[in-house]
Every structure is written in C-alpha cells, then in structure tokens.
Amino acid sequence: MAKVIGEIRSLARVHTEMCLRTLAGIAAKSESDAARVAAIGMLLDRGYGKAPQAHTGEDGEGAIEVVIRHILVGSRNAPAPLAAPNELHQLEHGRKSVGEEHD
C-alpha cells in the first residue's frame, strides 16, 4: 500500500509547476474575488506553510477547558468518578494536571 501511495505522489508532483502557474494565473486574473483569495491562500500555504494557529479557550483567550462527562446507563456497578464534578482539570502543553503533577 505504501508503494502505491508513493507512486501516486510521484505522479501528482510531475504537475506541480503547471498547478502553481494555474493558481498564480487565477490569483492574478480571475474576475471572482473568492477564486483569487483561494488561489492566493493556496500559493502562500505551499510556499511558506500554513500559518500557526493558537489553541486558546473561549473567545480566543485563556486556557482550553476540557469537560469529560461519565454517563452510565443502567449500571449498578459503576466505577467511582475520578474527581468531584465541579473540580476543573487543565491540560497544559500536552500534559494533564490532575491533583498533583507527576514528572
């Protein structure tokens, strides 16, 4: 399967120059503003990479809040919840801080 994917990529890359010229032509000459903006974005993404996106909480500020709800349906032998329902846990830099931190 990996060999097939590599071959498809190779075949597609043969058309890179034509595709970039087409995008540049659309960006420069299209009468549709939407088409021009899309083509410009694609060219910039390919030339410089996609712009980084910040991961923030609500309204673009603060930490991200993750809410995990434990829902039980018809079970009497349910496991005890890990924490009180009103206790918040934060994920910071890919690390979960639950109660005390572990190094």
Give a yes or no: residue 13 inside a domain: yes
Contacts of 46 (CB under 8 A, 6+ apart): 20
Closest of 83, 86, 81 to residue 99, by C-alpha: 83
Question: Looking at the domain assignment, is residue 12 inside a domain?
Answer: yes
- Which pLDDT score is estimated for 85? 55
Within-domain flag for 6? yes
Question: Domain span at residue 38?
Answer: 2-48
Evaluate whether residue 29 is within a structural domain: yes
- Establish if 56 belongs to a structural domain: no
Question: Which is higher by pLDDT, 79 or 60?
Answer: 60
Asked, for residue 10, whether it belongs to a domain, the answer is yes
Please check the confidence at residue 14 and state whether its pLDDT lies above 50: yes
Question: Residue 39: how many CB atoms within 10 A of its CB?
Answer: 20
**pTM attached to this predicted model:** 0.46
Where does the chain show beta strands of DSSP type E?
90-92, 95-97
Task: Give me the pLDDT at residue 88, please.
Answer: 55
Task: Please state, in angstroms and rounded to a whole number, the distance separating the CA atoms of residues 38 and 23.
Answer: 9
The predicted pLDDT at position 101 comes to 47
Which amino acid type is present at position 35? A
pLDDT one-digit tens code per residue, 20-50: 999 999 999 999 999 999 999 999 998 988 8
The domain total for the chain is 1
